[in-house]
Amino acid sequence: MQTRKILLEEDEMPRKWYNILADIKMNPPVGLDGKPINPEDLAPVFPMNLIEQEVSTERWIDIPEPVLDVLHIWRPAPLVRAISLEKALDTPAKIYFKNESLSPPGSHKANTAIPQAYYNKEFGIKRITTETGAGQWGSALSFACSQFGLECKVFMVKISFEQKPYRKSMMAAWGGNCIPSPSMETKAGREALEKNPDAPGSLGIAISEAIEAAVTDETGKTRYALGSVLNHVMLHQTIIGLEAKKQFEKIGEYPDVIIGCAGGGSNFAGLALPFVLDKLNGKKIDIYPVEPLGCPTLTKAPFVYDYGDTAAYTPLLPMHSLGHDFMPPPFHAGGLRYHGMAPIVSQLVAEGIFEPKAVSQLAAYDAGVMAARSEGIIPAPETNHALAAVIDEAKKAKEEGREKVIVFTWSGHGLLDLTAYDKYFANQLKSFALSEEEMLKSEKVFENYPKPQLLKSH
């Protein structure tokens, strides 16, 4: 009988996050004039201790004890050998995954929600606002706020809010307050509703609402939290890859291929970043961020400066972007419906360290159902995209007769996304791809923006 789970004890969990900004070159966030923005400018939005972390170039950053303590509720996460999936595929590849579905809110998002809530609390903040698409991030932040005694307000993209009433309930169980976006509570929301009273909402608008709600709070005790994209979020997620490295050491293996689904990029980066330095130093590893064909940020969109949100409240970030007013087609993987991509991930794609892949919605759900029926866990729709790429690799390994080691993140479970599976079984899911025309329309957005430099880290 083969061992399925490679475990770590709590005292074996890494006690520092890895900050890749110590090892790679990055374009700074800028204003429309092309001048780097001042960290102080972000002070109304984020607490200063997180802003310092956002711009830090220290290679290793201590995880505070109270954060470790809460992470221990579910971490270290097992590294799982997917022996049943291997058998189903009859592949010589060894497939491993980090099981991030075991956190109380059900995904990797809790890895950054906990430290973000902690640092806000330390800074004297009483209330955090945020947005959520599919609901994973809003759930994770509600959970985190309940751990540190903070209020939590979540603007949820309206169409998801209506399709997934359980998400609101989940947040409420932890004391979080979730409302549909666009809402009448913010200028950004009211403007969107004026244009279209039936607006289904978008991640970009919800971000704008959450930022506005934070910066306009007169008590000064409210800040905003973002669940992906930013450097400090990538930092917190490196716990995934750092644990995985220790676990691979335990069994004397090292991955040939690293795979993660990428929406804003944090799940993928969390696993991949701790392996990047090895690759920069010459180690042969294939590292694939996987995105949906319907929102092909890394595979099709240019590397530009663009806003992180629809209302252009954020600085310009150097990233692959489909344009901050881009509205993805209605595929079911809310966490991957974002126009941009983490600057760190974008930079490493731009210089060829990461090699992005895009998969169709149908391929993703085919893979997800195969995985549910072998490994048992019903995957989040986002995870299905990673699974499609994993299965492709495993099939390639079979063709080549190679015993490749593949590792990916099982970013979350799909227990609150089951309607999408219903549609799949009823043959109501289709695949989407962007036309050339749509791509060109998106690119026009950037015409008058500053351009990021092409930097090489090594």
Among 55, 415, 454, 455, binds a copy of itself (CB under 8 A): 415
Q: Which residues fall within 8 angstroms of residue 346, CB to CB, at 6 or more apart? A: 265, 298, 303, 318, 319, 320, 340
Torsion sign, CA atoms 75, 394, 301, 159: negative
Interface size with a copy of itself, residues (CB under 8 A): 45
- Distance CA(273)–CA(244), nearest Å, equals 11
Tell me how far, at minimum, the Cβ of 369 lies from a copy of itself, in Å: 7
Q: Which stretch binds a copy of itself (CB under 8 A): 155-163, 166-174, 292-300, 321-329?
A: 166-174
The number of residues making up the chain comes to 458
Q: Which residues fall within 8 angstroms of residue 258, CB to CB, at 6 or more apart? A: 271, 272, 275, 285, 286, 287, 288, 407, 408
Letters for 327-366 (x = contact with a copy of itself by CB under 8 A, - = none) are ----------------------------------------
Tell me how far, at minimum, the Cβ of 174 lies from a copy of itself, in Å: 6
Q: Closest CB to a copy of itself among 60 and 166?
A: 166
Tell me how far, at minimum, the Cβ of 118 lies from a copy of itself, in Å: 14
Contact status, residue 96 vs residue 250, Cβ threshold 8 Å: no
Residues 125-164 close enough to bind a copy of itself by CB under 8 A: 143, 146-147
Contact status, residue 342 vs residue 234, Cβ threshold 8 Å: yes
Taking each helix axis from N to C end, the angle separating 231-251 and 48-55, rounded to the nearest 10 degrees, works out to 60
Among 386, 416, 429, 445, binds a copy of itself (CB under 8 A): 416
Contact status, residue 287 vs residue 272, Cβ threshold 8 Å: yes
Among 22, 32, 172, 455, binds a copy of itself (CB under 8 A): 172
- DSSP characters over 234-272: HHHHHHHHHHHHHHHHHHT---SEEEEE-SSSHHHHHHH
Tell me how far, at minimum, the Cβ of 442 lies from a copy of itself, in Å: 34
Tell me how far, at minimum, the Cβ of 77 lies from a copy of itself, in Å: 11
Q: Which stretch binds a copy of itself (CB under 8 A): 65-73, 207-215, 294-302, 394-402?
A: 65-73
Q: Closest CB to a copy of itself among 11 and 437?
A: 11
Q: Are strands 303-307 and 94-99 parallel, antiparallel or unpaired?
A: unpaired
Residue type, 28: P
Among 169, 191, 283, 330, binds a copy of itself (CB under 8 A): 169
DSSP strands (E only) in 167-253: 177-181, 222-224
- Distance CA(363)–CA(421), nearest Å, equals 13
Q: Closest CB to a copy of itself among 6 and 20?
A: 6
Among 68, 192, 210, 406, binds a copy of itself (CB under 8 A): 68
Contact status, residue 297 vs residue 321, Cβ threshold 8 Å: yes
Among 422, 430, 455, 458, binds a copy of itself (CB under 8 A): 422
Query: What's the token pair of residue 170?
Result: 């989940």
Element (H, E) at 112: helix 110-122
Q: Is 11 in the site for a copy of itself (CB under 8 A)?
A: yes
Letters for 424-453 (x = contact with a copy of itself by CB under 8 A, - = none) are -x----------------------------
Among 376, 401, 427, 444, binds a copy of itself (CB under 8 A): 376
Q: Closest CB to a copy of itself among 4 and 430?
A: 4
Residues 13-32 close enough to bind a copy of itself by CB under 8 A: none
- Distance CA(287)–CA(65), nearest Å, equals 32
Q: Closest CB to a copy of itself among 32 and 415?
A: 415
Residues near a copy of itself (CB under 8 A): 1-5, 7, 9-11, 65, 68-70, 72-74, 84, 102, 104, 106, 143, 146-147, 166, 169-170, 172-175, 369, 372-373, 375-378, 414-416, 418-419, 421-422, 425
